[in-house]
Amino acid sequence: MAQFAQIIVDVPTLQTNRPYDYAIPLVWQDQLQVGIRVVVPFGKGSRQVQGFVVGTSDTPPDYAGELKTIAQVLDLQPVLNTELLALAKWLAQWTFAFQISCMQTMLPSMMKASYTKKVRLTGAATPATAAIFNGQAELDFADLAPETIKQLLKLQRQNLVEVDYQVHDRAKIKTIKAIQPLLSVAEYTAAAAKVPANAKRQHDLLAYLSAHATTTAPLSLPQITAETQLTLAHMHTGADKGWLRIVDLETYRDPYAELATAPRTQPLTLTAEQATAVEQITTAGQQQQAKVFLVEGVTGSGKTEIYLQSIQAAIAKGQTALMLVPEIGLTPQMVTRVKGRFGAHVAVLHSGLSNGERYDEWRRIERGEAQVVVGARSAVFAPLTNLGLIIMDEEHESSYKQDDMPRYHARDVALWRARYHHCPVVLGSATPSLESRSRAQKGVYQLIRLKERANHQPLPEVTVVDMKDELKQTKEDNFSSLLLQELHKRLLHQEQSVLMLNRRGFSSFVMCRDCGFVLKCPNCDISLTLHMDTHSMKCHYCGHEEAIPQVCANCQSRKIRYYGTGTQKVESELKVLLPEARILRMDVDTTRRKGAHAKILRQFGNHQADILLGTQMIAKGLDFPDVTLVGVLNADTALGLPDFRASERTFQLLTQVSGRAGRADKKGEVIVQTYNPEHYAIRLARHHDYEGFYQREMTLRHQAGYPPYYYTILVTASHEEENEAAKKIFQLMNQVKPALSPQAVLLGPTPRAIARVNKRYYYQMVIKYKHEPQLEKILTQIMQENQARNGIQISIDREPLSFI
């Protein structure tokens, strides 16, 4: 009988990773479990804060003061299981985060504080439930007395009750009108005999009802109207005559509902390379080895089929599988492929879902109703038990790293969970990160290389166009004559093309031609971007928005011009150059609305357009058989960034986008426009030479002392006053420096490349090291001492993927 509980509390100003001891009130002493959330008094004045129970005991803690008592119990059953609690503890240490942030990150946002909770009966009514529910269908959790909670905790363990979160967005989901036939075929025939022959609509309705008389599920009215042109008014007539009933049909929060019932796909006959890969992965699974495989396979080598068949093997053993996909790569195509193979066993988690949808999917996983989870970064915390396999597609993608606390990389979490479950991990990519590839080189990961496309077609031929030469000949900045000519050919042959522009917006910025003034964000050190669709200037960092200027704010000149290139501008140019082409544009602006992304891809797949023009979001995962030309309008944009991964990013992007061409039986061709044709990232991407790029880039990283030869940690201090931020970072430097060995390198402190964002100034330093036993301790200490003191904010980022 536990009388005491250890609790991680949610106190933002004084965060610590240490659990606090509390007394459990007598009523709950035999019911409270680890992983349940509670409300406890904290600190002077006993403010009420939320916390997670992480341990219980029956021996009094070694604490001199008076022990406080738990005030409320918030859950009837643990929301985090033992594995996830242990993971939160490790993650907090690993990422210099607070345990409470880690725990909260693992839960769907529906389950966070402000949503109302209802307790419902799930089993048969018993005398005990009857006494509590007293005829009501559900109880409001907030109104429950401690004694009632005690009884409910007990009932929950018998699976008689459950807690449900009130879904606010359910109200927003429109119910649709539906009808329910009420009579038999014979009765409809009899009714028709009584209706005058000229009442055509009534006869149509009776014919329809008669044809669907045996249907038990309500028939959706929008669908009936589409088929028969019968409207709600006609249905009211039918209802008055007693032929049918009109009902409101609630649409279920499963955005992929239609996929669950779609016909299943059959496993493909594997190529020799694929078969060896699946064999190795499933063997490790059978032997319960937490082995990490790096599948380095050229684009189109059929990595997805390897994933699917390895998942198949895991679920055949009664285990579960987790498949991570970068947010941007979580295309409807990918979901269709996984759902197509495993149907209703699949749960999907990503940021495009509403809170309600996410919560529903999470619950299906938690209850064991879904054995396969496909999802973006945070799906790595999916509450799957008995994991048999973890897959991470496009493992090099930077969206696997979270930018704010906890600053975790999903790969690290995946590896931790695999060790916990003794199951293999598959990292897949055509262009693995240098970190992973070098680990495979050392034998830490097992390398599996796929050199051939599944269709045995050659990789597309890549032509590099030097835009410096091109500019001398034509006046077009965005289209070389070769690219235009090839686009033309595709139109003639009714083949499709994909064009990638590595930017967004109409133009990058607005500049005064008289004085050179560039309109900047008032809150951040960055120029504002012009958006033609909203007719405004926007800051991509803080969201600030203002009207497009007519005159220069500096010299009042009217000679304001737009510079740079955006997808909107290219689209209008293209319409002039190729008036007969049907163009679809895919960028942040055209995909903002829910479902827009899927719609554009569907239209392109149905040949409703000849050209798909987009930003880097079109580079990944798309598999359209009739695309024979891929054009990259500006391959260099990323090369100039002040980041040592600039070449790696460029190489990866070019390889990925080239891989969209020639995926079926038609040969593919790629045209890359650049001002730097000699750059090694572009030269090697042209030859699809990942291994060559890896060697070359590793040499450079070695010379410059960058990852993967060194580990890096980025420490940032920010404040509204510039000198406060600067003072703090120097103070931190003085704290860290004495703890470092001579082998470590400290870069900075310096102002960040974009020094001011959202009215705060940022200063940073980078620690490069190989082995520093003291470093973790000192950084953990810095984190805990310095939180939110005097308006200073500190962040510590292990292996940052962005230094800007």
The binder of 557, among Zn ion, ligand ADP, none, by C-beta within 5 to 8 A per type, is Zn ion
The binder of 524, among ligand ADP, Zn ion, none, by C-beta within 5 to 8 A per type, is Zn ion
Note whether 281 binds ligand ADP by CB under 6 A: no
* 545-547, strands of its sheet edge to edge: 529-531, 536-538, 545-547
Q: Is-contact 433 451, C-beta < 8 A?
A: no
Note whether 542 binds Zn ion by CB under 5 A: yes
Note whether 433 binds ligand ADP by CB under 6 A: no
Contact region with ligand ADP (CB under 6 A), list: 52-60, 173-181, 267-275, 750-758:
267-275
The Cα–Cα gap between 785 and 358 comes to 36
Q: How far is the CB of 325 from ligand ADP (least distance, A)?
A: 11
Number of residues that bind Zn ion (CB under 5 A): 15
Q: Among residues 366, 462, 441, 292, which one has the least CA distance to residue 111?
A: 366
Note whether 510 binds Zn ion by CB under 5 A: no
The binder of 517, among Zn ion, ligand ADP, none, by C-beta within 5 to 8 A per type, is Zn ion
Q: Which is nearer to Zn ion, 562 or 769 (CB)?
A: 562
Stretch (H or E) spanning 510:
strand 509-512
Closest residue to ligand ADP: CB criterion: 302
Q: What residue type is 168 in one-letter code?
A: H
Q: How far is the CB of 527 from Zn ion (least distance, A)?
A: 10
The Cα–Cα gap between 35 and 54 comes to 6
Q: How far is the CB of 561 from Zn ion (least distance, A)?
A: 11
Letters for 556-575 (x = contact with Zn ion by CB under 5 A, - = none) are: -x------------------
The residues, ordered by sequence, that sit 6+ positions from 451 with a Cβ below 8 Å of its Cβ are: 273, 298, 301
The binder of 301, among ligand ADP, Zn ion, none, by C-beta within 5 to 8 A per type, is ligand ADP
Q: Is-contact 86 41, C-beta < 8 A?
A: no
Note whether 297 binds ligand ADP by CB under 6 A: yes
Contact region with ligand ADP (CB under 6 A), list: 56-64, 151-159, 282-290, 292-300:
292-300
Calculated CA dihedral for residues 785, 789, 792, 793, nearest 10 degrees: 50
Note whether 536 binds Zn ion by CB under 5 A: no
Note whether 515 binds Zn ion by CB under 5 A: yes
Among 190, 257, 262, 268, binds ligand ADP (CB under 6 A): 268
The binder of 271, among ligand ADP, Zn ion, none, by C-beta within 5 to 8 A per type, is ligand ADP
Q: Is-contact 278 306, C-beta < 8 A?
A: yes
Q: How far is the CB of 557 from Zn ion (least distance, A)?
A: 4
Among 90, 541, 675, 730, binds Zn ion (CB under 5 A): 541
Half-sphere exposure of 120 (CA within 13 A, CB side): 8
Alpha helices in 126-271 (DSSP H): 127-133, 146-157, 185-194, 200-211, 221-228, 232-240, 257-260
Calculated CA dihedral for residues 172, 178, 180, 185, nearest 10 degrees: -160
The Cα–Cα gap between 528 and 539 comes to 5
The binder of 299, among Zn ion, ligand ADP, none, by C-beta within 5 to 8 A per type, is ligand ADP
Measured at the alpha carbon of residue 119, what is the angle toward residues 113 and 123, in degrees to the nearest 5? 145
Note whether 424 binds ligand ADP by CB under 6 A: no
- List residues bridging with 9 in a β-sheet: 51
Contact region with Zn ion (CB under 5 A), list: 535-543, 605-613, 711-719, 776-784:
535-543
Note whether 554 binds Zn ion by CB under 5 A: yes
Note whether 299 binds ligand ADP by CB under 6 A: yes
The binder of 523, among Zn ion, ligand ADP, none, by C-beta within 5 to 8 A per type, is Zn ion
The Cα–Cα gap between 101 and 107 comes to 10
The Cα–Cα gap between 660 and 460 comes to 9
Q: Which is nearer to ligand ADP, 326 or 707 (CB)?
A: 326
Q: Is-contact 274 449, C-beta < 8 A?
A: no
Q: Which is nearer to ligand ADP, 306 or 765 (CB)?
A: 306
Contact region with Zn ion (CB under 5 A), list: 243-251, 353-361, 401-409, 524-532:
524-532
The binder of 110, among ligand ADP, Zn ion, none, by C-beta within 5 to 8 A per type, is none
The binder of 555, among ligand ADP, Zn ion, none, by C-beta within 5 to 8 A per type, is Zn ion
Q: How far is the CB of 308 from ligand ADP (least distance, A)?
A: 9
Among 50, 129, 156, 301, binds ligand ADP (CB under 6 A): 301
Q: Which is nearer to ligand ADP, 247 or 447 (CB)?
A: 447
Q: Is-contact 717 793, C-beta < 8 A?
A: yes
Distances (CA, A) of 758 to 142, 543, 640, 722: 38, 9, 24, 13
The binder of 616, among Zn ion, ligand ADP, none, by C-beta within 5 to 8 A per type, is none
Contact region with ligand ADP (CB under 6 A), list: 61-69, 268-276, 407-415, 494-502:
268-276
**Residues 438-497, interacting with ligand ADP (CB under 6 A):** 454-455
Q: How far is the CB of 335 from ligand ADP (least distance, A)?
A: 14
Q: How far is the CB of 464 from ligand ADP (least distance, A)?
A: 22
Residue 61 CA from chain centroid, whole number: 42
Among 117, 303, 503, 728, binds ligand ADP (CB under 6 A): 303
The Cα–Cα gap between 644 and 681 comes to 13
The Cα–Cα gap between 468 and 472 comes to 7
The binder of 13, among ligand ADP, Zn ion, none, by C-beta within 5 to 8 A per type, is none
Q: Is-contact 37 129, C-beta < 8 A?
A: no
Contact region with ligand ADP (CB under 6 A), list: 67-75, 295-303, 406-414, 568-576:
295-303
Contact region with ligand ADP (CB under 6 A), list: 42-50, 170-178, 302-310, 771-779:
302-310
Among 104, 304, 436, 716, binds ligand ADP (CB under 6 A): 304
* 175-181, strands of its sheet edge to edge: 219-220, 175-181, 244-250
Alpha helices in 407-480 (DSSP H): 410-421, 434-441, 467-473
Report CA Rg, the chain.
Answer: 30
Token pair of 329 as six digits: 């790569």
Please give the biggest Cα pair distance in the chain.
100
Token pair of 390 as six digits: 């973890």
Q: Is-contact 702 642, C-beta < 8 A?
A: no
Among 185, 270, 740, 747, binds ligand ADP (CB under 6 A): 270
Secondary structure (H, E, C), 2-43: CCEEEEEECCCCCCCCCCEEEECCHHHCCCCCCCCEEEEEEC
Number of residues that bind ligand ADP (CB under 6 A): 18
- List residues bridging with 713 in a β-sheet: 767, 798
Note whether 778 binds ligand ADP by CB under 6 A: no
* Residue 539 DSSP code: -
Q: Is-contact 604 584, C-beta < 8 A?
A: yes
Contact region with Zn ion (CB under 5 A), list: 33-41, 398-406, 436-444, 555-563:
555-563
Q: Among residues 442, 516, 468, which one has the least CA distance to residue 292?
A: 442
The Cα–Cα gap between 443 and 337 comes to 32
The Cα–Cα gap between 783 and 466 comes to 49
**Residues 653-712, interacting with ligand ADP (CB under 6 A):** 659, 663
Letters for 45-74 (x = contact with ligand ADP by CB under 6 A, - = none) are: ------------------------------
Q: How far is the CB of 404 from ligand ADP (least distance, A)?
A: 30
Among 10, 75, 305, 357, binds ligand ADP (CB under 6 A): 305
The binder of 552, among ligand ADP, Zn ion, none, by C-beta within 5 to 8 A per type, is Zn ion
Contact region with Zn ion (CB under 5 A), list: 14-22, 432-440, 459-467, 534-542:
534-542
Binding site for ligand ADP (CB under 6 A): 268-271, 274, 297, 299-305, 454-455, 623, 659, 663
